[in-house]
Structures are given as structure tokens and as C-alpha cells.
Amino acid sequence: MAFEFTDANFQDTALAKDKISVVDFWAEWCGPCRMITPIIDELATDFKDDESITIGKLNVDHNPNVSVEYGVRSIPTILIFKNGKLVDKNVGVTTKKALQDKISNAVQTA
């Protein structure tokens, strides 16, 4: 299962140094978000043994502060952070392959 990011844990988990975090901003009522959920769960399973990568979800209805801070106005939005800095963004439905490519790119960049 994907990690659950919250307003309370976001700073310490998603923005951790020496780490890549993939954060899916979603809501229960969002149809396209439900389409992304299995992909996020699969990626979380694929990367579960890599302690340098955290893949998870942040419910925008329950955690509005982070959503506002990063200007998330449309969901699903997936933000990728590396060493505490935003390095990539995807708005809307996407494929597992596209997200894998974005994660690989984040791993490879300095």
C-alpha cells in the first residue's frame, strides 16, 4: 500500500533529504483519482525495498494546507520531490510507465 502523507507528516517525510517522494494529491469523490490509485499502489509495491523512495497519497479534503502550499487546484496531481525540492509534476490521469520514467529521471538527476 502507498504511504499516507498528511499536513502533519509532510515536512518530515516528503521533503526529507537524500530521498525521492512521489505524492499523489487525491480525494475520495474524484473519479480520475480512483483510476490512478492502483498505479500508485503498484509503484509503492515496486519500490518498497528502496528506502530512498517513498510513494504515497495525500487526501486534499483532509489535508488542505499542503495542497494550498503547492498550488494544487486540480486532482489528481502527482508531485515528485527530490531532496526536499519539487522536481516534476503531473496533472490528470497518467500511465504507470510515464510515472516510472519520471521517477527514473529524478533518480538520475543531480
Domain count, the chain: 1
110 pLDDT tier (thresholds 50, 70, 90): low
Query: What CATH number is associated with residue 99?
Result: 3.40.30.10
Active-site residue among 16, 30, 86, 91? 30
Q: What is the tens place of the pLDDT at every residue in 40-60?
A: 999 999 999 999 999 999 999
Q: Which of 48, 56, 50, 39 has its CA nearest to residue 5? A: 56
Name the average pLDDT for the chain.
Answer: 95
- 33 classed as catalytic: yes
Active-site residue among 33, 44, 53, 60? 33
pLDDT at 3 over 90: yes
- 105 classed as catalytic: no
Give the strand pairing for 53-59 and 3-4.
Answer: parallel
3-state helix, strand, coil in the chain (%, to 5): 35, 25, 40
pLDDT at 1 over 90: no
